[in-house]
Chains A and B, each alone.
Chain A
Amino acid sequence: MLTVTNLTSERDDRILFANLNFSLHAGDLLQIEGQNGSGKTTLLRILCGLSSHFSGKIYWQNQDVSQQLPNFLQALLYVGHHAGIKAALTAEENLRWMQRLHPLLNRCTITEALNQVGLYGYEDVPCYALSAGQQRRVSLARLYLSSHPLWILDEPFTAIDKKGVLEKEALIVKHVQQGGMCILTTHHDFDLPKQTIRRINLDQLAHTITSVDTTPSYLVSV
């Protein structure tokens, strides 16, 4: 479904990764690993069309993404570092706006989603009055609402307590088992069959690459 060929990214004269190739099918989970500054976030942003610092091609359903951007964005749910949550609005107002933006946030009602993330009773509290963890939950309530086939999550478990992490992991596993795709940056181990989990370690990539011209294309093993 999602295929990436010869993806190379260079930032401020430093090559983050080069000639990255992988493809992701329904029911696959892709974990991006690496140290801070290894380019994890950049890679996710490139995939979402949020960064132009790359060369190479990205295909969605065998078509170049740049040729059919609206189609691709229709299928994509992205949760980044910055959640896109307005502090002055309540949890419900925030999620209602998200639904406006993404028509596929339609799996359940907002109240149900807020219940799921443990924010029952906080619907009408402005987000600036919530703790960092609670704000993160508001943003992750989208996962419960979402029926997007492709999830791209950047460090989804930061600022969330242990119980919350377990719940989100279960949710991601369920999403993948139901035929969804998920790309995320985290070191957690997921309770999924081995063949459906792929890993890309950007540190290893960076070490094996000396120059763009000489390196043969690097294929990620299953």
Chain B
Amino acid sequence: MNIKMPKWFYQLASPKWSYDIMGMLMPWFGLAALLLLVTGIVWGLMFAPPDYQQGNSYRIIYIHVPSAILAQSCFMLMAVAGIIGMVWKMKVAHIVAKSAAPIGASMTIIALSTGAIWGKPTWGAWWVWDARLTSMLILLFLYLGIIALYSAFSNKASGDQAASILTLVGVVNIPIIKYSVEWWNTLHQPASFTLTKKPAMPPEMWVPLLIMVLGYYCFFAYVLMARTRIELLEREHKSGWVTALLTDTP
């Protein structure tokens, strides 16, 4: 497959270039994440009004929903990175996918545990075998499988490819998993945010939520870039630019 891509795309393939670009972007994302997360959490936990039914317990939404969104976005990102890595033989894409996996797994764990804490007062159970919960649990298993596969290969390039294949298979399966468990049992409420519909909450509730989601994305980007840069250094430790980098900085 040979599809012509714009120039920046090929520059991304160069480890040094992407290392530098990420180094430039990282502080901005870190700052944005800090501002957004602090604003969102203070607003959401202290100033947003309580819910008419759930009272204050609904406030866990400000942690729960963004991490659930991130958990899924992260998997999509890994699948896209996997395709790019396989089709254009781009090492950096594989490294991004590998660095993203543990972050996605952590987000899934956060979503599951905050969901359990939220579920107890509202549904009356820590855990129910409901569609959303079950498919998130399966997502966690997929993440764990991918991470295990990365570490099972002593040769990193092979591990990258193997994990990409598994990610792609997993991404094909996610709609099926969702569909199957949805037909099987349903309790969880529908999505709070959709692109097409107006949010079913007043602004003083959803604006902090939106801020939190954006903050999570910035935080995710920040951590992802940090992890990617470390992995880049590790894999390229013999190449000229890393040596130069290490000798230049005292």
Contacts and interface: CB of A to CB of B under 8 A. Distances in A.
A13 B238 contact: yes
Interface string B150-164: 000011011000000
Contacts of B250: none
A213 B158 CA distance: 25
Interface string A130-166: 0000000000000000000000000000000000000
B157 A213 contact: no
A62 interface: no
A221 interface: no
A213 B238 contact: no
B240 interface: yes
A52 B238 CA distance: 20
Nearest to A212: B238
A52 B240 contact: no
Contacts of A13: 238
Nearest to A11: B155
Interface residues on A, range: under 10
Nearest to A52: B157
Interface residues of B, number: 6
Nearest to A53: B155
Contacts of B154: 12
A42 to B, nearest CB: 13
Contacts of A213: 240
Interface in B124-155: 154-155
Contacts of A52: 157-158
Nearest to B158: A52
A13 B238 CA distance: 9
A193 B141 CA distance: 63
A52 B154 CA distance: 14
Interface string A208-222: 000001000000000
Interface of A: 12-13, 52-53, 213
4 closest A-B pairs by beta carbon, nearest first, are: A52-B157, A13-B238, A213-B240, A12-B154
7 contacts: A12-B154, A12-B155, A13-B238, A52-B157, A52-B158, A53-B155, A213-B240
